[in-house]
Each structure stands twice: as structure tokens, then as C-alpha cells.
Amino acid sequence: MTTELKNDRYLRALAKEPVDRTPIWMMRQAGRYLPEYREVRKEAGDFMSLCRNAELACEVTLQPLRRFPLDAAILFSDILTIPDAMGLGLYFAEGEGPKFERPLRDRQSVEAIGIPDPEDDLGYVMRAVSTIRRELKGEVPLIGFSGSPWTLATYMVEGGSSKNFSEVKKMMFSEPQTMHLLLEKLAESVTSYLNAQIANGAQSLMIFDTWGGVLSPRDYQEFSLRYMEQIISGLTREADGRKVPVTLFTKNGGQWLEFMAATGCDALGVDWTTNMGDARARVGDKVALQGNMDPSMLYASPERIREEVETILQSYGTGTGHVFNLGHGIHPGVNPEHAKAFIEAVTELSPKYHK
């Protein structure tokens, strides 16, 4: 699958190699804020039908790249593909987000789930990866991803999104062995899933630990970080003759950057609650950093967005090792022209930090 990359700025920054400017991509860059995405979503019928159709998933992955000078594409999929393949009955309730018909609430239900075969049970994701990689024609690298075991477990035990995480924490505190069994199965599933994405053409990986920040420091290390470290140690780290970098992102996990940097990952996602300069001072040259503008800033005027970009670039300082991004996914109500102003600000303002 070797194609010479025309723009490898993103991979170079993750490897802390010199770049001419700070690379940029956006979490959820293929999504509801784009009218062309909404058209394709309508055509697909529903969200999971869109994920399961390789051609349509490829189309929406490429849409933001046609509009904006982005430095990476990210696979269009969902973090809940693995729990769905484990037979929990995933569905999306209108206006409520993902739900599971059969949440895991006891030892017996956790013992009953198997490890999905990524090429068989999740073959539609692999078809999307290989289709997107082919259609990118080496323009920019393709990022594959998964949810972290802890984050997937929260949805599987709660049965959907949660505000207080009472069910998953009840299991964690009252039946820790059951929780560890679930996390063990998920770590094994995520490792094989991500390795299959690499085999099908993903050139970089991201692990989204969306709910790691709801844990205490001790529980974060035991129930979240430990399993991400396990995954990293089991990943294929080279493909097409170059390193496949891994980025870890724990939302609201700024207080644990040093522990995260010690897992063997190449980069850390940083949300807007942590100052970029402080993050860099704390992790030193150990890892690259990705982030970290508040997605709500995209509701501001283009001038204000530009100011914020300059502030973050200044905070990180000179030299490589920074991938510009939002601190979480772009909001559906954002005007695409504001996203454009954001991306243009990074491309125009960042070269002076790389001289």
C-alpha cells in the first residue's frame, strides 16, 4: 500500500522532526457542521448506515479536505463499533445519542461477550480504511482510531451516555474483578482492531479516552491508563517503511500528562483546560502535543479566532512537536467559514515559530 506522501507535515511533527509550519486537523472535521455532510447522511438513512458504507464513509472523510488546507484525514467511524460488534444492540435515539439495548450489568454478561474479529465482525470499518487510503492518493496521511477501554466500558455498562457514571462506577468499586475482566477484553479487542486498521492503510492512530477525566487519580491509573499502555505495547508500530505514531487523548486529563507520556505513545492530545506551554514544559521532549483551542471559540469572530490561534502558538513556543487542533470535537452549529478562518490562521501564523 506504499504511496509517497505529498504532505507528511503531520507525521513529521508527531516524530518531532522539523516542519515548515504547525500542522492542523480538527477532531470531528467530517461532521454535521458541513452542509455536504448532512446531505450524505440523509442519503445514508442513519448514522451507522453511513459508517457501514465504505464509499459514503470515504466521501464524508474527504469532504473537509476539499474545503480546507488540512494536514491529515481521519477515518469516518464511531468509537462504539467494537461494543456494537460484541452484540450489545447499539442504536441512536433521536437527540439523545448512542444507546445499547443490552447493557452489561453483571459478571455473567461480561463473561458472555467475545473478542470481535476486526476483518470479519468489523470488516466494514476495514473496507472504509482501505477505500479512504486509496482515494487520498497520498495527499495527506490517514488517522485511524478507537475509543479507550475505559471509555467504551462506560457506554457498555451505563447503556449510553451518562452524567454521573453511577452504573460503571458501581461495578468498578463493588465488583472490580468484573470491571477488570471487561477492560481486559476491550484492550485485546482495541489492539487487534487498531492493528487491522494499520494493515488496511491507517498511517497514524489515536486513542480517545473521552471519559478518563471522570476518574480519581488512583482509579485513572488502574482502570484507564494501564489498559491504554497495554494496547500501545501490542500495536504494530511500523508500516510502509515508516513509524505509525500513536496519540493518546484523555479529556480533562491534563493533570496526568506525565503518566500518559510514559506509556510509550508518541503524542498527547491536550484539551483547553491545560495551558499548552505548561504541557510542553511538563512533558519536555518525550512526546509531541496536539491541541488545544476550545471548540466554542469557533462561534467567535474570525478576528477573535485568529487572536486565540496566535495565543496558543505563542504558548507552545518555537520548534516542532505541536499538532494544532481543537481541544475536543468541532460543534455541529459552527459556521464552516469560521472553521476556515481557524485553519487559515494556523497556516498563516505558524511558520514564524519554525524558522
pLDDT in tens, 128-185: 999 999 999 999 999 999 999 999 999 999 999 999 999 999 999 999 999 999 999 9
- In the chain, the N- to C-terminal Cα span, in Å, equals 34
Question: What is the per-residue pLDDT across 217-251, written as a single tens digit (0 to 9) for each?
Answer: 999 999 999 999 999 999 999 999 999 999 999 99
Q: Is 120 exposed, middle or buried (0-12, 13-18, 19+ CB in 10 A)?
A: exposed
Q: Residues 69, 29: contact at Cβ < 8 Å?
A: no
Q: Residues 72, 140: contact at Cβ < 8 Å?
A: yes
Q: CATH number for the domain including 248?
A: 3.20.20.210
Residue 2 lies in a domain: no
Residue 37 lies in a domain: yes
Phi, psi of 46 (to 5 degrees): -155, 175
Residue 13 lies in a domain: no
Residue 18 lies in a domain: no
Give the residue numbers of the binding site for substrate. Answer: 28-32, 78, 155, 210, 328
Residue 143 domain boundaries: 32-60+77-286+294-300
The C-alpha cell that represents 175 in the structure block: 465488583
Question: What is the per-residue pLDDT across 284-326, written as a single tens digit (0 to 9) for each?
Answer: 999 999 999 999 999 999 999 999 999 999 999 999 999 999 9
Question: What is the per-residue pLDDT across 78-98, written as a single tens digit (0 to 9) for each?
Answer: 999 999 999 999 988 777 789
Residue 349 lies in a domain: no
Residue 65 lies in a domain: no
Q: What is the pTM of this model?
A: 0.97
Q: How many domains does the chain have?
A: 1
E-only strand ranges, 57-102: 73-74, 90-93, 97-100
Per-residue pLDDT, averaged over 118-136, amounts to 98
Residue 97: predicted pLDDT: 84
User: Among 245, 247, 172, 249, which residue's Cα sits nearest to residue 209?
Assistant: 249
Residue 3 lies in a domain: no
Measured at the CA of 269, the angle between CA 68 and CA 168, to 5 degrees, comes to: 120
Q: Which residues are identified as catalytic?
A: 28, 32, 41, 78, 155
Q: 3-state SS of 124-162?
A: HHHHHHHHHHHHHCCCCCEEEEEECHHHHHHHHHHCECC
The C-alpha cell that represents 208 in the structure block: 480517545
Residue 115 lies in a domain: yes
